[in-house]
Amino acid sequence: MVQAERTQEAPRIDSWGKVSGSATFVEDMPELTGSLYAAPVKSPYAHARVGAIDVSRALALEGVSSVLYRDNLHEFGLQLDALAPLDPALIVGDKALYQGDLVAVVVASDLRTARRAAELVDVDYEILDPVFSAEAALQAGAPILHDHRGTNSIFDDSLMWGDIEDGFRQAVTIVERNLVSPTVFHHPMEPVGTGMVRFAGDIAEIWAPTNTPMRDASDIAHVLGVPADHVHLRVPYVGGGFGAKKTTREMAAALALSRKLRRPIRVVATGEESFHVAVRHAMEYRARVGVDAEGRLVALDVDLAVDCGAYFTGGKVATHNACTSAWGPYRVPHFRVRAKTAFTNKTPATPHRGTGKTQTTFAIECLMDEVARTISTDPVEFRERNVLLPGERVPERFTVEGSRIAGDSAPMTIDFPSLMREGMDALGPEQPPLSPSLVRGRGVSVSLRNWAKGSEESQASATLNPDGTVTVAHTASDLGQGIYNMISVVAAKTLGLDQAQIHVENPDTSTMLRFPGATAQRTTIELGNAVYAASTNLKRQIIDLAVESRGGTPDAWIIQGGSLWLGDVRYSLSDLAKEAPGVVLSAVGSDTEVYPTDDAFGETEFWTPGVAAAEVDVDRDTGEISVLRYAILAEAGKILHYNSARGQLEGGAVMGFGLALFEELRYEDGQVQNADAFQYRLPLMRDVPPSFQVLITENGDGPGPFGAKGIAQTSIPCVAPAVANAIFDAVGVPVSSTPITPEKVLRALGTLTDRP
Amino acid sequence: MEASSEGIATLETVALQLTVNGRVWSGDVPVEEVLLDLLRRRLGLTGTKRSCESQVCGACTVLVDGAPTSSCSHLAFETNGKSVTTIEGLGSEDSPDPIQAAFIRHMGFQCGYCTSGQIMAAKGLLLHNSSPSQEEIADWMSGNICRCGCYAAIAAAIRDASTRTRRG
């Protein structure tokens, strides 16, 4: 393995825009002439039957143009169930299913009036009992959310190999644990749900921050009943996403209003409203694990309860990911996971960085430490004994959708034992804590994910401009990862141009270039390959044109250092472009040209590990936890831009500190208790450990351009278990749910008990 | 239906004069208008971002007479006679402010939404303390949330800018 070194690299292409405030986010876009403002009416109750809705006072307010709600949808050419089954309908019908469910959208001449009018919409609510956990929602007699279904159960998922009962018969030690990951909010800094819409002729135009523009455009087309190519969604800079950014119901409703009113409409979401758009799936992981006399895992049986919130907006992928990661990276001869998913009266859960895997990684990694300590084995040694080693194979293969594929999985390429040792070494020599009330501990955690190939191909186009520069078009939103910079690096390197000669467009769905979405750490691989293919195809066209106009053979021409060369003679691309007026050199490329496969596995399968080591101090008197040292290890295949890779790994870990120590949306007394920036504690600069290291290796074996892999989601899942295991090491007792608060530590220690 | 003005009082306005990025601006603004809206809507200075609107996250940080201030929660009229500096008032691409240059070198940003606020808070720190320690940086900057988690790079950028500025 080769340790990546920080090389001299050009700053990211979006650097100046972002440090000067000139990068344009949707709210920074200039006002469209005649623009109106939308404001939502949202259910204040988690579960309520909706009776009469009276909009007359709202409509009477000066400046109010229209209100869209259940009873007048037909006037807008809409149907209540216009979205796919189980997704939220465009707007609430006779029941509101979570606090924040969309009841109406008001449009007025200015935002203040629109918001006041929204307050004037009178809604009769009959409050119903809410249910706030998957386990409770699946019990007999639980309040039912979707009446017509008669149950809160959505679907069951499972995955198994070997014979679980036989496995437990071989076990000499059996450990049972229940590990809980709560509902959390992604909290991108740019509010979720801000956008701008307009109908121009019969074209629906949207400017919105979303990580899935093509899918959103298709959903919007479905809601509005227009052809998909009539929805032109453009994505400006996006102020973070982590799974929460999408074209919202408010924007779809605003488009319907815009179609009727023939006016552009601005939708402005607040930071507080953002908490009610998307959250992470809460999961409960009940496990029974058996080890034999040699301390080898023989059986793992997991029951997962997945809380999907009020609508089914991402439950399938989260649940499937949870099942395929429930065994970690371990050699488990007899394995079974059974997942149940349920509707609850919480904000609809969507993908959240490391979807489904962050929750199970916390669980399996805490479980491994507990087993190790039960059999008096060092947790690192226990892992070395049980983790899949290079060359070993996973027993079963599955498509992204969960169906089995015949044949062998790709062999493990990751050397976890050496990564773990490097991580522990990175923490340095152990030293005692500075105060007698403090206890110090160390923990390690590992995770594994494979490449989840997107559900469709990825495309990009490359066009030679008359000035000799090249424009790359695509539909992959940059949510901050540095995707446009990645495109620029790949195009420049493939074409032999300087990065200054590459223009990267913002996503625009009217290009009809396909891309499944900037999710699942797939963009560098799949879009990167599409850009590589488009650039290669354009290069061929450029050289063909050069041969035609200047002679020579295609093999004799090269593009290097930004120019065309025939032997020692240099030609500029702009001269070539100018000499052929009317000839447009433009090429589309697809990732399938680089990896012609339609499933995620087989020859193109690869593994990305996550490894982390943590050192903590815990105050036995107060329960206070300080993470002192933290090391992240990752395998990038090939780093295309070091600072971007480092940024993704550090950023994932920082978000992980939040999940480990602070973040939980608490639902009590029929309400969410802390859905605002004051009460929802996010990680701050002072929460970053004084020693915070990132160690990246480059094996060069990734399926992306120049051997790159995706790494964006490898650091986040390791944090909570590494910190939890370090706390366990320090205090000698485990904590079985995140966030690990001082209160939970004191309760685990038995020094804090409820008053009798 | 007759139009009503239910619940919406006509706003009182107040005459205001302030300096923004070295230029004097004067005009009448509603008494309840916050500085963020004055900057973004009236002056078109959209580099300052709106996020939590409750003085928690720091995305809207500007300098008011050199002090970092959450413009989302600061009434515009309170800046009467004062000097406001926004991200647009720092350097240019050819001649960036040392703190902007350091943020670029260390890539102290990812999505960029909080970056203007981070840079203005950092600028305020260096105006106040030209050689902050790591603890002082972390303490001062903990009012500016970066959900992309660029804190290590931001802290490195601030240390770097402080060293270079002192070296002159």
The tens digit of pLDDT for each residue in A581-603 reads: 788 899 999 998 887 654 444 44
Task: Give residue A305's pLDDT.
Answer: 98
> A240 at the B interface (CB within 8 A)?
yes
Measured in whole angstroms, how far is the alpha carbon of residue A38 from the centre of its chain?
Answer: 28
Q: Which domain holds residue A532?
A: 459-594
Say if the Cβ atoms of A190 and B51 lie within 8 Å. Answer: yes
In a domain? residue A140? no
Same domain, A442 and A510: no
Residue after which a domain boundary falls, among A247, A274, A301: A274
In a domain? residue B3? no
Same domain, B129 and B159: yes
Say if the Cβ atoms of A480 and B148 lie within 8 Å. Answer: yes
Contacts A–B by Cβ distance under 8 A: 192
Measured in whole angstroms, how far is the alpha carbon of residue A258 from the centre of its chain?
Answer: 31
Q: A581 vs chain B: nearest CA distance in angstroms?
A: 34
Say if the Cβ atoms of A682 and B145 lie within 8 Å. Answer: yes
In a domain? residue B52? yes
Tens of pLDDT, residue by residue over A426-473, are 999 999 999 999 999 999 999 998 766 777 899 999 999 999 999 999
Same domain, A370 and A417: yes
ipTM of the complex: 0.97
Q: Structurally, how many domains does chain A consist of?
A: 3
Task: Give residue A2's pLDDT.
Answer: 47
Same domain, B114 and B65: no
Same domain, B77 and B117: no
In a domain? residue B6? no
Same domain, B18 and B41: yes
Same domain, A23 and A49: yes
CATH number of the domain that residue B65 is part of: 3.10.20.30
Same domain, A222 and A122: yes
Of A521, A361, A321, give the one whose Cα is nearest residue A446.
A361
Of A187, A293, A300, A177, give the one whose Cα is nearest residue A241.
A187
Same domain, B62 and B122: no
> Is the confidence at residue A406, as pLDDT, over 50?
yes
What average pLDDT does range A465-483 have in this prediction?
97
Tens of pLDDT, residue by residue over A492-524, are 999 999 999 999 999 999 999 999 998 888 999
Same domain, A385 and A444: yes
Same domain, A233 and A261: yes
Tens of pLDDT, residue by residue over A351-402, are 999 999 999 999 999 999 999 999 999 999 999 999 999 999 877 666 555 6
In a domain? residue A572? yes
Secondary structure class of A21 (helix, strand, coil): coil
The alpha-helical segments, DSSP class H, found in B71-150 are 98-106, 115-128, 134-141
In a domain? residue A143? no
* Residue that wins the pLDDT comparison between A582 and A193: A193
Same domain, A610 and A723: yes
Q: Is the peptide bond before A390 cis (omega within 30 degrees of 0)?
A: no
Two structure tokens written together for B1: 């239906």
Please check whether residue A708 is in contact with residue A636, taking contact to mean a CB–CB distance below 8 angstroms: yes
Residue after which a domain boundary falls, among B58, B89, B120: B89
Q: Structurally, how many domains does chain B consist of?
A: 2
Tens of pLDDT, residue by residue over B5-34, are 787 877 799 999 999 999 999 999 999 999
Task: Give residue A611's pLDDT.
Answer: 98
Interface test with chain B among A8, A9, A19, by most B beta carbons within 10 Å: A19
In a domain? residue A135? no
Cα distances (angstroms) measured from residue A67 to each of A44, A57, A418, A674? 18, 11, 62, 30
Which chain A residue lies closest to B145 (C-alpha atoms)?
A: A684
In a domain? residue A177? no
Q: Which domain holds residue B150?
A: 98-167
* Cross-strand pairs, A177: A287
Same domain, A619 and A586: no
CA–CA dist A196, A183 (Å, integer): 29
Same domain, B75 and B103: no
Say if the Cβ atoms of B90 and A25 lie within 8 Å. Answer: no
> A110 at the B interface (CB within 8 A)?
no
Out of B6, B107, B155, name the one closest to residue A61 (CB): B6
Same domain, A475 and A543: yes
Cα distances (angstroms) measured from residue B90 to each of A236, B57, B120? 24, 21, 9
> A119 at the B interface (CB within 8 A)?
yes
Task: Give residue A738's pLDDT.
Answer: 98
CA–CA dist A580, A104 (Å, integer): 56
In a domain? residue B163? yes
Same domain, B80 and B137: no
Residue after which a domain boundary falls, among A594, A615, A639: A594
Same domain, A298 and A345: yes
Same domain, A297 and A409: yes
CATH number of the domain that residue A201 is part of: 3.90.1170.50
In a domain? residue A174? no
Interface test with chain A among B29, B34, B56, B110, by most A beta carbons within 10 Å: B110
Residue window 338-367, chain A: list those with CB within 8 Å of chain B. none
Say if the Cβ atoms of B88 and A21 lie within 8 Å. Answer: yes
pLDDT tier at A640 (50, 70, 90 boundaries)?
A: very high
What average pLDDT does range A120-142 have in this prediction?
98
Q: A117 vs chain B: nearest CA distance in angstroms?
A: 9
Task: Give residue A603's pLDDT.
Answer: 46
Q: B26 vs chain A: nearest CA distance in angstroms?
A: 22
CATH number of the domain that residue B157 is part of: 1.10.150.120
Residue after which a domain boundary falls, among A542, A569, A594: A594
In a domain? residue A358? yes
In a domain? residue B54? yes
Say if the Cβ atoms of B114 and A189 lie within 8 Å. Answer: yes
> A141 at the B interface (CB within 8 A)?
no
Say if the Cβ atoms of A686 and B52 lie within 8 Å. Answer: no
CATH number of the domain that residue A318 is part of: 3.30.365.10
Say if the Cβ atoms of A20 and B88 lie within 8 Å. Answer: yes
Same domain, B113 and B151: yes
Which chain A residue lies closest to B40 (C-alpha atoms)?
A: A28
Same domain, A731 and A622: yes
Say if the Cβ atoms of B7 and A120 lie within 8 Å. Answer: yes
Same domain, B69 and B19: yes
What average pLDDT does range B45-65 have in this prediction?
98
In a domain? residue B60? yes
Same domain, B103 and B85: no
Same domain, B103 and B160: yes
| A167 contact partners, CB below 8 Å, separation of at least 6 | A290, A298, A299, A300, A333, A334, A335
- Residues in B touching A22 (Cβ below 8 Å): 47
In a domain? residue B155? yes
Out of A56, A113, A480, name the one closest to residue B112 (CB): A480
In a domain? residue A153? no
Same domain, B54 and B110: no
In a domain? residue B136? yes
pLDDT tier at A1 (50, 70, 90 boundaries)?
A: very low
What average pLDDT does range A192-196 have in this prediction?
97
